[in-house]
């Protein structure tokens, strides 16, 4: 090995260490920012190492690619709002998987079609895997983007025999893949496999509703990672193998964690068409909704001992993270003990609430996870639900027939008083009615969450 090769391998090793360190940092809100920075630094080191590769004879297209990719990445991170983060992630997965897929196709073309070589089975297996999973991730992620961006309806699109058609299509692509390992020279079959994989990505995501899309995207993330790892094997690149494997398995673990937090199985998410017209929406609603006014709530809050805020998707759409912190500070100023209850699937992506509250400099010590806060609910004077719905729906606990039965919830209904901040009678993402809103100890404060919180903070200061 010459000095340059040593340097490249060293940069890959350093990048891998930085990726692992980054992942470790992401496991806690307090270290998440540092984790992101070290992962980004790792990517920079890996890119620099790759740019020194011996096989590069002309940098023109690489520079064009760096400029175009860098500009798209910068534009997305600057202008896409936090509420559009799931769509943004879907696009990133689509681009990453497209890169893996194109590398696989061009490697196959170069060796088999251009040079007329016979690919060794191991290399063909790696290439085939990369193209199969890369291609289905491209179209699947693009469709996820289209649904989340509401460019088409987000509800599941189902038809008779759908699961059988999907599974058959995947088996056909997998059989071709296995055949190609034995006979890589069948170029037509290779391209049929590519087309089937692209088609399978679309058909896989069609029956999945927007509510389940974050789980699907994290699975796609996992596929894109495994496709990149396969690319690493195919082109003999260590950093791709390591980073792809990390990506693949962390995406898979995240999908499982999200499913657990919703009490659903991965197969139910993928094949259950949750939220389609046939979904049972039975609930145990009794009583009437009671509207409350800002001044009454402000007095209730100002004289409470303990107040727990439960943020949800509405906090994100209203961008009310700063307003909730200001109200919390006004209450603390009066000696009220303030806590925030964070449900693992509140909002639209994992860690959504943590990111928003961190942006508003809410102290981490005030954030409580579901298991920590639920035992404290009976001792809570007022639970303030800020744009959350499904994650506080008592039907998940009390009604075994509910589609969300068994999903762990933040048990706000066990606190002395509940105030729900929402704009009107809109449902949560599951489309279900919420009996919490009809309970005698619940008051509904209608209006945009940010405006309501701002008015409450002013009223508390004057109370």
Chain residues binding ligand NAP by CB under 6 A are 211, 214-215, 258, 262, 312-314, 317-318, 345-350, 352, 387-391, 421-430, 448-449
Min CB(217)–ligand NAP separation in Å: 9
Burial code (b: 16+ CB inside 10 Å, e: under 16) for 161-197 equals ebeeebeebbeebbebbeebbeebeeeebbeebbebb
DSSP 263: T
Neighbouring CB atoms inside 10 A of 202's CB total 14
Helix boundaries (H) for 80-161: 85-108, 121-148
Cβ closer to ligand NAP: 140 or 387? 387
Cβ closer to ligand NAP: 116 or 426? 426
Min CB(420)–ligand NAP separation in Å: 9
Tokens standing for residue 27: 């496991």
- Number of Cα atoms under 13 Å in the Cβ half of residue 345: 27
Nearest to 155 by CA among 377, 383, 429: 429
Min CB(431)–ligand NAP separation in Å: 9
Neighbouring CB atoms inside 10 A of 377's CB total 19
Cβ closer to ligand NAP: 15 or 421? 421
400-to-9, 183, 193, 220, 394 alpha-carbon distances in Å = 56, 53, 43, 31, 11
Cβ closer to ligand NAP: 98 or 204? 204
Burial code (b: 16+ CB inside 10 Å, e: under 16) for 72-82 equals eeeeeeeeeeb
Return the SS3 of 272: coil
Tokens standing for residue 236: 């003999």
398 is catalytic: no
Neighbouring CB atoms inside 10 A of 322's CB total 16
Cβ closer to ligand NAP: 134 or 214? 214
Neighbouring CB atoms inside 10 A of 284's CB total 13
Min CB(167)–ligand NAP separation in Å: 24
Query: What is the enclosing helix (H) or strand (E) of 339?
Result: strand 337-342
Tokens standing for residue 103: 């590398």
Residues 239 and 12: beta-carbon distance below 8 Å: yes
| Pairing, β 382-386 against β 306-311 | parallel
Cβ closer to ligand NAP: 228 or 434? 434
Min CB(212)–ligand NAP separation in Å: 6
Min CB(266)–ligand NAP separation in Å: 12
Cβ closer to ligand NAP: 217 or 239? 217
Q: Which of the residues 390, 395, 413, 448 is marked catalytic?
A: 390
Min CB(383)–ligand NAP separation in Å: 13
Active site residues: 390
């Amino acid at each position: 090995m010459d000095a340059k090769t040593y340097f490249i391998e060293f940069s890959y090793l350093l990048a891998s260490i930085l990726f692992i360190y980054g992942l470790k940092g992401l496991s806690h809100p307090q270290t998440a920012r540092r984790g992101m920075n070290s992962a980004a630094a790792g990517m920079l080191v890996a890119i620099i190492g790759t740019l020194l590769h011996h096989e590069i004879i002309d940098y023109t297209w690489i520079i064009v690619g760096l400029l175009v990719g860098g500009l798209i990445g910068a534009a997305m991170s600057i202008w896409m709002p936090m509420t559009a983060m799931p769509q943004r992630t879907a696009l990133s997965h689509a681009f990453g998987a497209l890169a893996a897929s194109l590398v696989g196709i061009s490697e196959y073309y170069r060796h088999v079609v251009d040079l007329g070589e016979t690919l060794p089975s191991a290399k063909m297996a790696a290439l085939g895997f990369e193209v199969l999973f890369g291609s289905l991730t491209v179209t699947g992620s693009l469709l996820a983007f289209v649904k989340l961006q509401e460019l088409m309806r987000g509800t599941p699109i189902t038809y008779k025999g759908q699961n059988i058609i999907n599974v058959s299509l995947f088996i056909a692509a997998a059989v071709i893949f296995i055949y190609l390992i034995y006979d890589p020279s069948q170029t037509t079959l290779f391209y049929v496999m590519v087309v089937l994989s692209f088609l399978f990505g679309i058909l896989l995501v069609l029956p999945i509703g927007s509510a389940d899309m974050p789980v699907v995207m994290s699975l796609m993330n996992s596929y894109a990672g495994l496709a990149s790892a396969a690319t690493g094997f195919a082109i003999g690149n260590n950093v791709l193998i390591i980073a792809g494997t990390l990506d693949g398995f962390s995406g898979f673990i995240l999908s499982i964690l999200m499913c657990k937090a919703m009490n659903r199985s991965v197969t139910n998410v993928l094949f259950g068409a949750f939220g389609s017209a046939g979904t049972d929406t039975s609930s145990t609603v009794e009583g009437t909704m009671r509207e409350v006014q800002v001044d009454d709530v402000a007095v209730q809050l100002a004289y409470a001992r303990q107040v727990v805020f439960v943020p949800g998707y509405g906090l994100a759409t209203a961008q009310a993270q700063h307003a909730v912190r200001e109200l919390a500070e006004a209450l603390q100023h009066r000696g009220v003990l303030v806590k925030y209850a964070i449900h693992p699937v509140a909002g639209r992506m994992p860690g959504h609430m943590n990111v928003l509250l961190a942006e508003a400099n809410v102290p981490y010590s005030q954030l409580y996870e579901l298991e920590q806060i639920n035992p404290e609910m009976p001792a809570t004077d007022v639970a303030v639900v800020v744009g959350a719905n499904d994650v506080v729906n008592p039907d998940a606990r009390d009604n075994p027939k509910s589609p969300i039965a068994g999903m762990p919830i933040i048990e706000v209904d066990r606190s002395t008083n509940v105030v729900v901040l929402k704009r009107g009678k809109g449902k949560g993402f599951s489309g279900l009615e919420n009996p919490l809103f009809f309970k005698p100890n619940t008051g509904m404060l209608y209006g945009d969450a940010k405006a309501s919180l701002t008015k409450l903070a002013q009223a508390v200061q004057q109370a």
